[in-house]
Amino acid sequence: MRVLWSRTEATVNEVHRELEDARGLALTTIATMLKKMELKGVVNHRTEGRQFVYRPTIDAAAVNRTMVSELTDRLFGGSAAALVNHLLTEGEIDASELTELRQRIEDEGKRA
């Protein structure tokens, strides 16, 4: 999905080229994944010559909201504070991110 979001649309070959070094996935695997995502309604395609050109039908922000909400509900009983506490405790947030988060919390506090 990240490839499609960054490019707006892409063929199986284009997605494969972008993911090959990092993921090492076969071209057929990429094609299968795109077909499955199309069946789920998260991408669709148009035909260009003999190739399918895929594009996302949902935006990244919507997916992030849904996934974070589901993660928070399933693992942290719906508590965003518990999720953030976990990230802090496990050291998954670096110093620059902490600074950014502090500023964001301060800004949100002023709006409330």
**Per residue in 88-107, pLDDT tens?**
888 778 889 999 999 999 99
At 26-73, the pLDDT tens digits run 999 999 999 999 999 999 999 999 999 999 999 999 999 999 999 999
Q: Give the span between the Cα atoms of 95 and 102, in whole angstroms.
A: 11
Q: How many residues does the chain have?
A: 112
What residues have CB less than 8 Å from 75, skipping those under 6 apart? 83
Helix (H) or strand (E) holding 66: helix 60-76
Q: Give the span between the Cα atoms of 76 and 78, in whole angstroms.
A: 5
Q: What is the pTM of this model?
A: 0.68
What per-residue confidence (pLDDT) applies to 112?
A: 73
What per-residue confidence (pLDDT) applies to 55?
A: 97
What residues have CB less than 8 Å from 60, skipping those under 6 apart? 1, 2, 5
